[in-house]
C-alpha cells in the first residue's frame, strides 16, 4: 500500500523574470516499509521533489500543479496548522550537510527533542530523557553527555546521527534523507546508511533516499526513480534497474561510472553537453540533445512513461534492449612503468602545525614515496588523513617541518628562493573548486596569462598564442577567453583549472579532489581529458581523492594514508583488489558498489571516530580502531615489501606474485 | 579565559597610552596656549612666561609628557584653573549624567531596533522592509542638531507636552527626579542609533534565515514564529553585541551635540566648554576617559560574545 503518492507534481522557482520549471509532472509512489531511491544529477529535480513534499521549498518556490497524497490526504489542500503537524510528527528529514543543519547555539538535546515539545507538549525533563534514549538508539557514544553539548563539539558523523535522531524521535512514518552521506567520509557513510537501514526495519518506516551516487542506491534501495531535468525518466526495482535499465540516460549514467571502464586503458563513457535550461520551454525528450540514440521523433514528441514490466516504467522511444554488461572491472594489467625515471621523490616528509596550548597537530608524519615520469600516483584517505597537506607541500605552497622533497634529482629544501620558484614551475596544482580558486573579476584570458607573466615566459604575442593553444587542449573554444569564471559550468571550470595548471608546461600536476564536486557524466569528461593530456604531454599526476573508484581508474599506483601516515602503497590493481592493510580493506569495503548483488559484509567495518592528530596513538596509528590490533601494534610497523608495501604487523595477505616485477 | 583577559587588558593599556601621547602632542601644538586663556588678554609677556614656568609648560615636550604620565599613575588627572577644581572631580560630577543619557538612549534604541530589523528580515524586499529602510536612512542622514531642534519645536512649543530643557540638577538624584526633562534628549540620541542597529539586525537575520539550520527547524513542523524567535533570533543578535561595545563610546559625540542643545550638564557639555576655553587639563582628561571607554567597550563586547556564543566560549578557553 502506498504511503506517499505524487500525482503530476509540478514545482516552479520564480526568477526575477520568468521561472525555473524545476519539476514537471512528477509521478512517484513510496510504499510502507520500503526504501525508494531517487537518483539524478544536479538540477534533475530530486531535491526539489522532497522539498515540495516537506513544504520546505526555497524562497520563490511553489507547487503549481498536482497532488501530494500522504496516506490518502492531499498535503497541498491542508490548512497550514495541520500541515505542520503532519510534517513535524509523521515525517522526518535528514539533510545533506550535517555541519550546518544544526542550530549552533542550541544544545543537542533541546534540538533533538524539540518536535516532542512542540507537537506533543512533552515536559522538559521527559524530553531530555527521550532525547538521550533516541541518541543512544542512533549509536551516539555517551548520549547522556552529548545531549548537553553544542553541535560544534561533535564530528560530522556524530552530527548526522543527531539529525537522524531528531527525525526519528517523532517515530515518523516517512523518513526523507537528502544526500545524507555526501558530506561524510566513506567509513562514516557506511555507518550512517546501515543505521538508516536498521531503523527503517525497526520503526517500520518508508524511506526516500535521495542521492547522486548510484552505488549508495544499489546497496540500499528497494526501488529506484531516475530523474532528469525535472522529470522522472525511469522507475524500477533496484535489481531490475541495474540489470535491465531501459532509459538511455540511465544506461549512460552507469557507463560513465569509473567502475565500468573496460580495462586499464579504457576510456570512460562521458555524456556530452550539459542538462537543459529549465527556465526555457522544452519539447520532446529532455535528454535528446545528449543522447547517442536520438532520432527526430525524440525531439518532436513528448515521451510518456510506458510500462516495461509490472513495476518498471520508462520514458524513452529507443529503450535499451541489449543486455547491459555492467560488471565491476576486474584486475587489469598494470601499465608498464618500470623503465621510466623517478621524477619526484619524497622522503620522510613531516608537517606539524602549532595548536596553541594543546600542543602540535601532526598532519603528516614521515611520509615517503616516489612518482615516476608519466605516472599517476593516487593518494587516498579520509578527511584529516593529511593527503591534501602532502599535496600542498609537494606543490611548494607550504614549508615542510622536516624531510626532503627531491624533484628531478634536486632537493628543493636546499635551493635559494629564486631557484625554488623556478623549480615550482615544474609542479602545478589543480583544485577541487576551481571557481573559488579563480579571481571572479578576472577574465579567463587574464587567469591563464598570469602564470606566464609571473614567470616571464615569452612576449605578449607568444603568451597569447600559448593561452589559445591551452584552451584548445582542454577542449574549450577561444571565445572563452573573453568571459568570466561565473559564466562557466562546473565541468568547464575544471577544464580551465587544468589549463591554468598546464600553462607553465609542468611535469607534475598535483590534483586535489579534481572531480569531487562534479556529476558523474561531467566527471567522466574531465577524467578522460586528464588521461589524454597525460599521454600527449608525458605528465605525471599526484591524484588526491577520497573516492577509491576514481583513484582506481586514474592511478598506476595508490598510496593510502591514515592520520598522517602512509599505511600502504603499491600498484593500483593490487592495492584495490588485494589490500594488505586492514584500514585499506575497510576503506574498500565501505565504498558502496553500484552492483545490487554485491552485499557489503559487516565484518570488516571500522567503528568509532578518527582520533585527534594533536595526540595521535603511538605505534600504528590505526590500532585504536583496528580489529586485528595486538600489543605489538604499540610499536611502529615499518613500511616494507617490494612494489606493494604495507606498514602493518599483521598484513592481511602476503604480497601477491602479480605485484613483483 | 583568565589568560585571554590579561592579554586583552595588556593590549588595551598600550592603546590607551598611545592615545594620551597623541592627544598630548596635538594639544600642545595648538595655537593660543593655556596661559593666555587663563590670564586674559591684558596679561604681560612676563606674566605669561612666569605662568608657563610655574606650570612646567616651558620644559621640553617629552619631559612634560613624562610628568603627566607620572601623575596619571598616581590617579592625578590634573587641575583645571578655569573651573577651579581637579579634573577628576569635574569628571566624576558629570559622568553619571552622561551615562544615564547614553544608557537610556541605547536601551531605547535596542528595544526599537531589534523588532524593526526582524520585521525587515522576515518581510525582506516587501513593502515593510522598504518603508522601514527608507525611514532609517532618513534618520541616519539627519544631522543630530537638526533633529533635536525639531523635537524641541514639536514637543515643547507646538505641542507643549515636554520641557525643552534637560534637568539642571547638580546630583544624579536630582536629575533622575525629573524624568520628563530627559525624554527629548534620550529620544533624539536614540533615533540615530536605531537606524544603525536595525540595519545590522536586518542583515544578520537575513543571513541566518538562509542558513540550513533554519530549514531543519522548519522540517520539525515549527510555526514561523517559533522558527524566528526560538532559533534565528539568538544567532541573529550576535552582531548587535559587538556593535553595542563599539558604539557606546561613539554615543559620546552624539551626547556632545545633544547636551549642548538641551543644556544638560554632562561630559559633552564639559568638553564643549573646555574646548572653547582651551582648558587643556580637562580636554586631556576627557579624551583619556573616552579612549578607555572605547577599549573597554570592545573588550566587554568580546567577553559578552563569549558568554552567549558556545563556539566562541570554547576558543576563548583554549587560548
Do the domain assignments include residue A66?
A: yes
Confidence of residue A316 (pLDDT cuts 50, 70, 90): very high
Torsion of CA B159, B165, B169, B175, to 10 degrees: 60
Same-domain status, B56 and B131: no
Chain A to chain B, count of Cβ pairs less than 8 Å apart?
Answer: 79
Measured distance CA(B205)–CA(B224) in Å, rounded: 14
The per-residue pLDDT for range B51-94, each reduced to its tens digit, is: 888 877 778 888 888 888 888 888 888 888 888 889 999 998 88
Measured distance CA(B18)–CA(B271) in Å, rounded: 21
Measured distance CA(B297)–CA(B102) in Å, rounded: 13
Same-domain status, B50 and B143: no
The pLDDT assigned to B292 comes to 86
Statement: residue A323 has pLDDT above 80 = no
Measured distance CA(B246)–CA(A341) in Å, rounded: 62
Same-domain status, B204 and B224: yes
Chain B residue whose CA is closest to A94: B216
Nearest in space to A435 (alpha carbons), one of A390, A507, A384, A494: A494
Share of chain A above pLDDT 70, in %: 95
Same-domain status, B81 and B100: no
Residues A383-406: what's their mean pLDDT?
90
Same-domain status, B263 and B123: yes
Q: Are the CB atoms for A483 and A444 separated by under 8 Å?
A: yes
Backbone angles phi, psi at A200, to 5 degrees: -60, -45
The per-residue pLDDT for range B102-113, each reduced to its tens digit, is: 889 999 999 999
Task: Find the CB nearest B310 among A114, A150, A358.
Answer: A150
Residues of A with CB under 8 A from a CB of B: 54-56, 83-89, 91-93, 95, 97, 100-106, 111, 114-115, 118-119, 150, 152-153, 163, 166-167, 356-358
Same-domain status, B131 and B154: yes
Neighbours of A290 (CB within 10 A): 18
Cell numbers at B316, concatenated: 576563548
Q: Are the CB atoms for A5 and A69 separated by under 8 Å?
A: yes
From chain B, pick out residues whose CB is under 8 angstroms from the CB of A114.
217, 220, 222
Partner A contacted by B173 (CB < 8 A):
no
Nearest CA to CA, how far is A580 from chain B (Å)? 40
Measured distance CA(A616)–CA(A542) in Å, rounded: 26
Statement: residue A577 has pLDDT above 60 = yes
Statement: residue A597 has pLDDT above 80 = no
Q: Is A408 exposed, middle or buried (0-12, 13-18, 19+ CB in 10 A)?
A: middle
From chain A, pick out residues whose CB is under 8 angstroms from the CB of B234.
105
Three-state secondary-structure class, residue A359: coil
Q: Tell me the pLDDT of chain B averaged across its residues.
A: 86
Residues A85-90: what's their mean pLDDT?
91
Chain A residue whose CA is closest to B212: A101
Q: Which residues pair with A411 in a beta bridge?
A: A406
The per-residue pLDDT for range A539-565, each reduced to its tens digit, is: 999 999 988 889 999 999 999 999 999
Same-domain status, B83 and B106: no
pTM of the model: 0.83
Mutation target for A interface from B219, B227, B233, B236: give the one with most A CBs within 10 A.
Answer: B219
Show which of B87, B117, B133 is a domain's final residue.
B87
Same-domain status, B52 and B161: no
From chain B, pick out residues whose CB is under 8 angstroms from the CB of A152.
310-311, 314
Total domains, chain A: 1
Neighbours of B95 (CB within 10 A): 17
Statement: residue B314 has pLDDT above 60 = no
Backbone angles phi, psi at B129, to 5 degrees: -65, -50
Measured distance CA(A365)–CA(A328) in Å, rounded: 35
Confidence of residue A600 (pLDDT cuts 50, 70, 90): low
Measured distance CA(A491)–CA(A500) in Å, rounded: 14
Confidence of residue A24 (pLDDT cuts 50, 70, 90): very high
Partner A contacted by B217 (CB < 8 A):
yes
Statement: residue B319 has pLDDT above 50 = no
Cell numbers at A336, concatenated: 608498464
Is B220's CB within 8 Å of A166's CB?
yes
Same-domain status, B127 and B52: no
Same-domain status, B212 and B144: yes
Neighbours of A24 (CB within 10 A): 20
> In A212-359, at which residue ranges do the beta strands (DSSP E only) sit?
223-228, 231-237, 306-309, 312-314, 342-354
Statement: residue B6 has pLDDT above 70 = yes
The pLDDT assigned to A604 comes to 62
Cell numbers at A214, concatenated: 548510484
Do the domain assignments include residue A364?
A: no
Nearest in space to B161 (alpha carbons), one of B177, B144, B184, B145: B184
Residues B221-240: what's their mean pLDDT?
90
From chain B, pick out residues whose CB is under 8 angstroms from the CB of A106.
231
The pLDDT assigned to A48 comes to 93
Nearest CA to CA, how far is A191 from chain B (Å)? 22
From chain B, pick out residues whose CB is under 8 angstroms from the CB of A56.
215, 218-219
CA atoms in the 13 A half-sphere facing the CB of A234: 27
Q: Which is more confident, A30 or A592? A: A30
Backbone angles phi, psi at A346, to 5 degrees: -110, 125
Is B213's CB within 8 Å of A100's CB?
yes
Measured distance CA(A169)–CA(A172) in Å, rounded: 8
Q: Tell me the pLDDT of chain A averaged across its residues.
A: 88
Statement: residue B201 has pLDDT above 90 = yes
Partner A contacted by B125 (CB < 8 A):
no
The per-residue pLDDT for range B112-162, each reduced to its tens digit, is: 999 999 999 999 889 999 999 999 999 989 998 999 999 999 998 999 888
Q: Are the CB atoms for A284 and A300 separated by under 8 Å?
A: yes
Partner A contacted by B235 (CB < 8 A):
yes
Element (H, E) at B181: helix B179-209
Same-domain status, B126 and B262: yes
Same-domain status, B99 and B83: no
State the CATH number of the domain containing residue A171. Answer: 3.40.50.300
Measured distance CA(A595)–CA(A587) in Å, rounded: 17
From chain A, pick out residues whose CB is under 8 angstroms from the CB of B319.
356-357
The per-residue pLDDT for range A183-232, each reduced to its tens digit, is: 788 888 888 888 889 889 888 899 999 998 888 888 889 999 999 999 99
Do the domain assignments include residue A479?
A: no
Q: Are the CB atoms for A405 and A371 separated by under 8 Å?
A: no
Do the domain assignments include residue A181?
A: yes
Q: Is B300 exposed, middle or buried (0-12, 13-18, 19+ CB in 10 A)?
A: middle
Task: List the domain range (segments joined by +) for residue B144.
Answer: 95-318
The per-residue pLDDT for range B266-310, each reduced to its tens digit, is: 888 999 999 888 888 888 888 888 888 888 888 888 888 877 888
The 3-state DSSP composition of chain A as helix, strand, coil percent (nearest 5) reads 35, 20, 40
Statement: residue A18 has pLDDT above 90 = no
Confidence of residue A457 (pLDDT cuts 50, 70, 90): confident
Do the domain assignments include residue A642?
A: no
Do the domain assignments include residue A163?
A: yes
Is B212's CB within 8 Å of A356's CB?
no
Task: List the domain range (segments joined by +) for residue A172.
Answer: 2-314
Cβ burial A567-584 (10 Å sphere, 16+ → b, else e)? bbbbbbbbbbbbbbbbbb
Partner A contacted by B308 (CB < 8 A):
yes
From chain B, pick out residues whose CB is under 8 angstroms from the CB of A115.
220-221
Nearest CA to CA, how far is A356 from chain B (Å)? 7
Measured distance CA(B266)–CA(A219) in Å, rounded: 75
Task: Find the CB nearest A104 among B218, B235, B318.
Answer: B235
Show which of B32, B61, B87 is a domain's final residue.
B87
Do the domain assignments include residue A301?
A: yes
Do the domain assignments include residue A290?
A: yes
Total domains, chain B: 2
The pLDDT assigned to A331 comes to 45
Is B235's CB within 8 Å of A150's CB?
no
Backbone angles phi, psi at A368, to 5 degrees: -125, 135
**Contact residues for B173 (Cβ-Cβ < 8 A; gap 6+):** none
State the CATH number of the domain containing residue B133. Answer: 1.10.3720.10
The H helix count followed by the E strand count for chain A is 20, 23
Nearest CA to CA, how far is A73 from chain B (Å)? 17
Amino acid at each position: 500500500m502506498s504511503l506517499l503518492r505524487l500525482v503530476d507534481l509540478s514545482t516552479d522557482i520564480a526568477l526575477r523574470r520568468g521561472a525555473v520549471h524545476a519539476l514537471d509532472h512528477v509521478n512517484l509512489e513510496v510504499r510502507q516499509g520500503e526504501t525508494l531511491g531517487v537518483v539524478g544529477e544536479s538540477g534533475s529535480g530530486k531535491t526539489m521533489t522532497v522539498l515540495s513534499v516537506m513544504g520546505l521549498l526555497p524562497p520563490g518556490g511553489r507547487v503549481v500543479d498536482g497532488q501530494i497524497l500522504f496516506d490518502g490526504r492531499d498535503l497541498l489542500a491542508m490548512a497550514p496548522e495541520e500541515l505542520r503537524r503532519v510534517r513535524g510528527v509523521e515525517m522526518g528529514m535528514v539533510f545533506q550537510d550535517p555541519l550546518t543543519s544544526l542550530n549552533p547555539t542550541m544544545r543537542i538535546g533541546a534540538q533533538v527533542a524539540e518536535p516532542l515539545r512542540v507537537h506533543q507538549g512533552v515536559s522538559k525533563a521527559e524530553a531530555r530523557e527521550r532525547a538521550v534514549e533516541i541518541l543512544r538508539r542512533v549509536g551516539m557514544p555517551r548520549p547522556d553527555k552529548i545531549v548537553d553539548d553544542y553541535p560544534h563539539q561533535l564530528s560530522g558523523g556524530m552530527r548526522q546521527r543527531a539529525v537522524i535522531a531528531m527525525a526519528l524521535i517523532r517515530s515518523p512514518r516517512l523518513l526523507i534523507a537528502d544526500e545524507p552521506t555526501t558530506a561524510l567520509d566513506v567509513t562514516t557513510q557506511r555507518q550512517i546508511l546501515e543505521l538508516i537501514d536498521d531503523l527503517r526495519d525497526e520503526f517500520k518506516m518508508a524511506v526516500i533516499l535521495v542521492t547522486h551516487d548510484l552505488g549508495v542506491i544499489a546497496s540500499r534501495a528497494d526501488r529506484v526513480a531516475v530523474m532528469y531535468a525535472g522529470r522522472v525518466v525511469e522507475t524500477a526495482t533496484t535489481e531490475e534497474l541495474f540489470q535491465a535499465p531501459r532509459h538511455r540516460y540511465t544506461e549512460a549514467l552507469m557507463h560513465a561510472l569509473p567502475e565500468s571502464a573496460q580495462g586499464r586503458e579504457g576510456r570512460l563513457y562521458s555524456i556530452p553537453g550539459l542538462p537543459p535550461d529549465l527556465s526555457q520551454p522544452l519539447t520532446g525528450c529532455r535528454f535528446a540533445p545528449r543522447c547517442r540514440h536520438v532520432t527526430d521523433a525524440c525531439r518532436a514528441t513528448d515521451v510518456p512513461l510506458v510500462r516495461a514490466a509490472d513495476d518498471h516504467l520508462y520514458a524513452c522511444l529507443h529503450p535499451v534492449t541489449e543486455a547491459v554488461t555492467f560488471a565491476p572491472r576486474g584486475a587489469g594489467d598494470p601499465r608498464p612503468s618500470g623503465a621510466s625515471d623517478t621524477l619526484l621523490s619524497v622522503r620522510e616528509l613531516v608537517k606539524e602545525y602549532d595548536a596553541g596550548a594543546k600542543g602540535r597537530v601532526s598532519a603528516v608524519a614521515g611520509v615517503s614515496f616516489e612518482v615516476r615520469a608519466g605516472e599517476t600516483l593516487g593518494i587516498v584517505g579520509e578527511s584529516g588523513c593529511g593527503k591534501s597537506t602532502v599535496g600542498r607541500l609537494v606543490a611548494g605552497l607550504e614549508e615542510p617541518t622536516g624531510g626532503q622533497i627531491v624533484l628531478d634529482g634536486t632537493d628543493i629544501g636546499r635551493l635559494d628562493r629564486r631557484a625554488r620558484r623556478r623549480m615550482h614551475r615544474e609542479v602545478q596544482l589543480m583544485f577541487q573548486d576551481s571557481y573559488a580558486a579563480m579571481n571572479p573579476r578576472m577574465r579567463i584570458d587574464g587567469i591563464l596569462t598570469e602564470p606566464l607573466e609571473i614567470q616571464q615566459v615569452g612576449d605578449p604575442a607568444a603568451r597569447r598564442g600559448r593561452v589559445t593553444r591551452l584552451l584548445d587542449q582542454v577542449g574549450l573554444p577561444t571565445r572563452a577567453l573573453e568571459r568570466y569564471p561565473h559564466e562557466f559550468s562546473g565541468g568547464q571550470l575544471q577544464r580551465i583549472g587544468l589549463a591554468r595548471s598546464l600553462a607553465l608546461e609542468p611535469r607534475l600536476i598535483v590534483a586535489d579532489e579534481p572531480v569531487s564536486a562534479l556529476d558523474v557524466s561531467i566527471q567522466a569528461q574531465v577524467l578522460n581529458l586528464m588521461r589524454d593530456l597525460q599521454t600527449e604531454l608525458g605528465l605525471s599526476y599526484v591524484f588526491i581523492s577520497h573516492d577509491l573508484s576514481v583513484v582506481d581508474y586514474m592511478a598506476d599506483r595508490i598510496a593510502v594514508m591514515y592520520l598522517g601516515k602512509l599505511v600502504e602503497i603499491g600498484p593500483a590493481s593490487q592495492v584495490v583488489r588485494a589490500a594488505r592493510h586492514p584500514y585499506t580493506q575497510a576503506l574498500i569495503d565501505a565504498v558502496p558498489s553500484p552492483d545490487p548483488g554485491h552485499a557489503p559484509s559487516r565484518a570488516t567495518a571500522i567503528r568509532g571516530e578518527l582520533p585527534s592528530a594533536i595526540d595521535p596513538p603511538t605505534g600504528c596509528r590505526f590500532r585504536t580502531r583496528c580489529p586485528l590490533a595486538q600489543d605489538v601494534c604499540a610499536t611502529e610497523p615499518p613500511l616494507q615489501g617490494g612494489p606493494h608495501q604495507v606498514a602493518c604487523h599483521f598484513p592481511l595477505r602476503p604480497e601477491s606474485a602479480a605485484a613483483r616485477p | 579565559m583568565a589568560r585571554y583577559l590579561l592579554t586583552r587588558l595588556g593590549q588595551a593599556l598600550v592603546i590607551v597610552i598611545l592615545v594620551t601621547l597623541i592627544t598630548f602632542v596635538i594639544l600642545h601644538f595648538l595655537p593660543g596656549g593655556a596661559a593666555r586663556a587663563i590670564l586674559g588678554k591684558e596679561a604681560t609677556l612676563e606674566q605669561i612666561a612666569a605662568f608657563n614656568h610655574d606650570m612646567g609648560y616651558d620644559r621640553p615636550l617629552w619631559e612634560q609628557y613624562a610628568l603627566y604620565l607620572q601623575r596619571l599613575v598616581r590617579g592625578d588627572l590634573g587641575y583645571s584653573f578655569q573651573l577651579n577644581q581637579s579634573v577628576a572631580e569635574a569628571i566624576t560630577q558629570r559622568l553619571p549624567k552622561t551615562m544615564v543619557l547614553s544608557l537610556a538612549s541605547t536601551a531605547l534604541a535596542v528595544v526599537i531596533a531589534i523588532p524593526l530589523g526582524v520585521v525587515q528580515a522576515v518581510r525582506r524586499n516587501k513593502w515593510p522592509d522598504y518603508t522601514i529602510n527608507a525611514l532609517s536612512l532618513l534618520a541616519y542622514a539627519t544631522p543630530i542638531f537638526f533633529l533635536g531642534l525639531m523635537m524641541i519645536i514639536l514637543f515643547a512649543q507646538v505641542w507643549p507636552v515636554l520641557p525643552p530643557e534637560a534637568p539642571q540638577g547638580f546630583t544624579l538624584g536630582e536629575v533622575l527626579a525629573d524624568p520628563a526633562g530627559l525624554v527629548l534628549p534620550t529620544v533624539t540620541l536614540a533615533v540615530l542609533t536605531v537606524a544603525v542597529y536595525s540595519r545590522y539586525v536586518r542583515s544578520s537575520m537575513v543571513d541566518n534565515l538562509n542558513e540550513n539550520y533554519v530549514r531543519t527547524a522548519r522540517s520539525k513542523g515549527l510555526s514561523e514564529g517559533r522558527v524566528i524567535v526560538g532559533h534565528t533570533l539568538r544567532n541573529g543578535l550576535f552582531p548587535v553585541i559587538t556593535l553595542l561595545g563599539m558604539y557606546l563610546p561613539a554615543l559620546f559625540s552624539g551626547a556632545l551635540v545633544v547636551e549642548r542643545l538641551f543644556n544638560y550638564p554632562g561630559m559633552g557639555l564639559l568638553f564643549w566648554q573646555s574646548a572653547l576655553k582651551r582648558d587643556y587639563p580637562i580636554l586631556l582628561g576627557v579624551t583619556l576617559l573616552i579612549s578607555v571607554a572605547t577599549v573597554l567597550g570592545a573588550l566587554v563586547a568580546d567577553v559578552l560574545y563569549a558568554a552567549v556564543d558556545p563556539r566562541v566560549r570554547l576558543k576563548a578557553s583554549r587560548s
